[in-house]
Each structure stands twice: as C-alpha cells, then as structure tokens.
Amino acid sequence: MLGTMMQFPLTLAPILERTGRLFGAVEIVSRLPDKSIHRSNYAGVCGRARALAAALAAGGVGRGDRIATLMWNHVWHLEAYFGVPVSGSVLHMLNLRLHPDELAYIVNHAGDRVLLVDDVLLPVYEKLRGRVNLERVIVVPTTGQGLPPEYENYEDFLKQGAAGYEAPQLDENEAAAMCYTSGTTGVPKGVIYSHRSLVLHSFCEALPDYFGLSQSDCVLPIVPMFHANAWGCPYAAGMLGAKQVLPGPNLDAIGLLDLLEQEKVTRSAGVPTIWMGILAALDQHPGRWKLQPGLRVLSGGSALPESLLRGFDRHAIEIRQAWGMTEMSPIGTVCTVKSSLSEMSEGERMAVRTKQGTQVPFVEIRAMVGEREVPWDGETMGELHVRGPWIAASYYNLPDQQGRWTADGWFRTGDVVTIDREGYVKIADRAKDLIKSGGEWISSVDLENALMDHPAVREAAVIAIPHPKWAERPLAAVVLKDGHDATPEELRSHLARKFNRWQLPDAIVFVPEIPRTSVGKFQKSRLREMFADWEWEPTAEAAVKS
C-alpha cells in the first residue's frame, strides 16, 4: 500500500522562492577584494538568481549544461549557486587554487560551456585560455575597476533574459552542481550533486545537533564556495533565510575576527588551519574582539587537534569537529557529545570531542578489513565505508571508477578508522598515510595531534619513510612557533607520555613550513617527495636527526 502524500520534487527552486519572499530583507554581506563591505539581501539574490537563470536560457544554455564558476565567496557566487541549478543547468565550482594544467583538465573533462569568473581571477583564467573549450566567459565585477573590453560583463549579461521567464519543472534527481575532488589522491574525479541530495543535505546540516541553524543565525562560511558546496552552508542558510557573511579572498585571521565581530556572526565553518590562525590572534590580542555568545564553529577537512579544542574552550567559542568528503556533499559525521555521556570526566569528554563524531541521520557507516566488518570497540581499525542519500554512487564519466564502490553498494572512503561502542568514529589516517611498522600500524594523525599539543609547536605532519628492518618508520616534520624553541629529544619525551616507544617518530625534523594542498590540508605527498632521499642511520634503531 502506498502513502497518500504528494510526489513533490525536492529541488532548489522552492528554497529560493520562499526565502526571497519571506526573508527578503535579511542581509547578504560580502567582503570585497579591497576589504570594503558590499551589502545585499535575499530579495536581491532571489531576483538576480532568477535573472541569471533567464539570461542563461536566453543564451541557449539548457538542461544539464555545465556552467563553471571561478569565484571567491561573495553574493555573486551565491546568485550562481541558486540561479544556475534553478535554470536546469549545472553549477560547476572550480577550485581556483589548482594548478592550471589540472584546472584545464577539469574544465574539459566536465565539458563546461560557460565560465563565470571574478574580475580579480582573470589572471587564473588567462592561464587556461586557449586550452579550454568554453563558449562564453562572463566576468563578474567585484572591484570598482572597469573590465578589459574583450570580456562580457556579468551585469550586462543579467539583463539579457526574457521578462516572463519561467524556470523549468525539474526532476529532483537531475544534476544541480558538480565539484572535482581536489586530487590529493590521484586524478581529479567529478562528483555530481542532484537537487535532491543538496536539499536533504541542507535539512540535515541545519539540525540542532549539527550546525544548529535557525533563521536568526548569521553564517560565515570561511570554507571556500569552490570546494564541496562550502560544506553546504550557502544552501542550508539559504533554506532557512539566515544572514550570510561571505568573506571574499582575504582570509587573514585579524580580518576574519573583525568580520565575526562586526557582523555578529553566530555560525562559521573552516579547516583547522584557519582556526589555528584565529586562535593565535585571540591569544595575542586578549579582549580585542567581542564575539557573539553562542558562536559555534565547525572544523573539518583534517583532524582537529586537542590543543585547538582547548584553546577555543578557553575563549568560550564552541568548536565542533565534522568529517566528510567531496563525494559526500560533504557531511558524514559531526562530533556532538550525547546526553547519555554527560556524566563523563573532563578527560573522557575531551577524548570524545577529538573524534570525528557520529554518523548524521541517513548516513550509514561500517569499518571493514577486507570482507569482514570490524567491531565497534574503539580499537580495531578498518576502512570506513559509507552510504546514504547525499553520497556519490559513481564518478562522472570515468571509465575506471578506481574500485571506490563495493559490490554491495557502499562507498570506500579510503580513511582508516576505529568506531567506539557509542558510535564515535576516529580517523586514524588515510589508508595511504598509515605507517606500517613491523606489522603494526601507527596513526600519523595521533602523533601529529600530540606534537601540536606541545607549547612550542605550531604545526606537525608525520609521514612514513621506508625502513630496511621495519618496512616503514615515522618521521615528523615540525614547525616551531615564533620565538619558541624545542629539541627533538624534548618532543620525543613529550610524546613518550602518550605513546609506546615503538610508535615514536624516529626522526623529528624542523622545517619552516609544511606544504599544503589547495584547501589548506597538509600535503603529505609533497612532504614524502621532500624526504624521498632520507636514510635511516644504520646503527641506531631510534636515531634522531634534526
């Protein structure tokens, strides 16, 4: 027997229409490249997103056509986030920090027809020009300066739609947006989000236990809108009609703190690197910023070090860890401490909060070794598999799907985890970053977090180096804080409080900086290249070089 409910497609159009009508006056604040503030509102975004859809239709761009964006976080990108999918075309956010070769590959592989590009990012586009098959390049003026005459102006383009344009009725499974994984693991792979997956992801993200969004919130996504839907913030905040603050290209800690204070931000999202910078600024300038009580920030993309959690606790800012992937729209788990654990000691609570969290509703998880599921005992490691309504079922147009899906329909994340009795997932490593020493596994993430707990350490990344006897042994690359000093021996003693001797890095090397990926994660592949010639001292089992 079927239910008697309507078959109402879950698409982005009703979100845009409702928010435009009910919350038209709610502000969308953009910080421009020159750091000046631009103010718009949902009425403006709704009207202009419709105009964008109409102009695309008038320009012969149709259902399923890919429209690329090369843009920072600002209101024009938000217009594209809604206007492009509502028209039936597909918003393809391009990661502007990628190498031009990689970007050209991605544009061609996706078959992008049109590019919307910020005026300040024209130099990035110029490097692709001649190598990509775009029919139209439309430039968004984000500075007061005029555009080079050979380019089409976005403002003029918006006027080209027909007055009575009606957006098409879309199926909820049609493509709405796409994004390529940033390629820390092999060739860039395209993921296509459907209207349905984006709508459901927005509902889930907004729930009180996760991002906890309400209409009265003010949301500042620091995570770029060119990466994994800015973790869904623009859509979730847009669905509720919450104020959005979009920071543009300047992501320095002082400027972000000014923005958090001035715009009375209550929710923000970014990678640990951003939060580390913000914590350092808060520590350096006590009392300088009056942030909103109840400010909650999500940290994801890489592991949240305990030192960062403690630092944010000190400043009474709530920081929660989330884990996800481009393939997952991106949210898979969020770390919220359950009410049944409220009696825990402070130490136990901290141990839970440093985990990546529990699966959000409709995301199913299992940890596997080969064909066998490992127990949820908090100790046994296995590869995390996931499935759910906003998890990719395949990569776009890729003959070799790289063995990422199991025969029974799960996505292999490539992350090696433990899951405890309460269901909290802890990422030990990416499979390829685990250190396999003498038949045992050492988690580089655990060592990094413990190193970053040391007062003199700003950043640390641990990699495996081949070893003649043990197969692999850990090497730690460490960046010291300005004005601080520490010796490798000191750092090893610090680690020895938490780890067994065989788990300690055999080498601790001080470096000026740790190479990063385009989205601010440690780039371990680059680090491995830097230490490719490393040789262990033949005599000492635990030699320490510096």
Catalytic residues: 181, 327, 436, 441
Q: Residues 182, 224: contact at Cβ < 8 Å?
A: no
Choices 147-155, 193-201, 208-216, 301-309 (CB under 6 A): range interacting with ligand ADP: 301-309
SS3 string, 431-493, reads: HHHCEEECCEEECHHHHHHHHHCCCCEEEEEEEEEEECCCEEEEEEEEEECCCCCCCHHHHHH
CB of 327 to ligand ADP, least distance (A): 6
> What is residue 288's DSSP assignment?
S
Sort strands 318-324 and 296-299 into parallel, antiparallel or unpaired: parallel
Establish if 184 lies at the interface with ligand ADP (CB under 6 A). Answer: yes
Establish if 395 lies at the interface with ligand ADP (CB under 6 A). Answer: no
Window 70 to 129, contacts with ligand ADP (CB under 6 A): none
Establish if 325 lies at the interface with ligand ADP (CB under 6 A). Answer: yes
Element (H, E) at 198: helix 195-206
Sort strands 66-70 and 114-118 into parallel, antiparallel or unpaired: parallel
How far is CA 415 from each of CA 167, 321, 353, 384, rounded to the nearest angstrom? 41, 16, 19, 6
- Minimum CB distance to ligand ADP smaller for 150 or for 400: 400
CB of 223 to ligand ADP, least distance (A): 10
CB of 381 to ligand ADP, least distance (A): 14
- As beta bridge partners, residue 320 has 298
Establish if 221 lies at the interface with ligand ADP (CB under 6 A). Answer: no
CB of 369 to ligand ADP, least distance (A): 18
How far is CA 267 from each of CA 61, 199, 444, rounded to the nearest angstrom? 36, 20, 30
- Minimum CB distance to ligand ADP smaller for 30 or for 413: 413
- Minimum CB distance to ligand ADP smaller for 15 or for 386: 386
* 444: nearest Cα among 471, 416, 420: 416
Establish if 428 lies at the interface with ligand ADP (CB under 6 A). Answer: no
- Minimum CB distance to ligand ADP smaller for 53 or for 223: 223
Residue 527: phi, psi to the nearest 5? -65, -40
The tokens describing 117, both together, are 């590009």
Q: How many CB atoms lie within 10 A of CB 221?
A: 24
Establish if 415 lies at the interface with ligand ADP (CB under 6 A). Answer: yes
CB of 324 to ligand ADP, least distance (A): 6
| Among the listed residues 89, 268, 307, 326, the single contact to ligand ADP using CB under 6 A | 326
| Among the listed residues 301, 311, 382, 505, the single contact to ligand ADP using CB under 6 A | 301
Choices 46-54, 181-189, 276-284, 447-455 (CB under 6 A): range interacting with ligand ADP: 181-189
b/e sequence 110-145, b meaning 16+ C-beta within 10 Å: bebbbbbbbbbbbebbeebeeebebebbbbbbbeee
Asked if omega into 330 is within 30° of 0 (cis), the reply is: yes
Sort strands 372-373 and 364-369 into parallel, antiparallel or unpaired: antiparallel
Establish if 382 lies at the interface with ligand ADP (CB under 6 A). Answer: no
How many chain residues are in contact with ligand ADP, going by CB under 6 A? 21
CB of 192 to ligand ADP, least distance (A): 14
- Minimum CB distance to ligand ADP smaller for 24 or for 414: 414
CB of 309 to ligand ADP, least distance (A): 12
- Minimum CB distance to ligand ADP smaller for 155 or for 422: 422
Establish if 356 lies at the interface with ligand ADP (CB under 6 A). Answer: yes
| Among the listed residues 302, 359, 418, 503, the single contact to ligand ADP using CB under 6 A | 302
Label residue 50 exposed, middle or buried (CB < 10 Å: 0-12, 13-18, 19+).
Answer: buried
Window 252 to 271, contacts with ligand ADP (CB under 6 A): none
Q: Which long-range contacts (CB under 8 A, 24 or more apart) does 336-342 make?
A: 336/209, 336/210, 338/422, 340/422, 341/422
Residue 538: phi, psi to the nearest 5? -60, -30
| Among the listed residues 226, 235, 275, 323, the single contact to ligand ADP using CB under 6 A | 323
- Minimum CB distance to ligand ADP smaller for 69 or for 326: 326
Residues at the interface with ligand ADP (CB under 6 A): 181-185, 228, 300-303, 321, 323-326, 356, 413-415, 427, 430
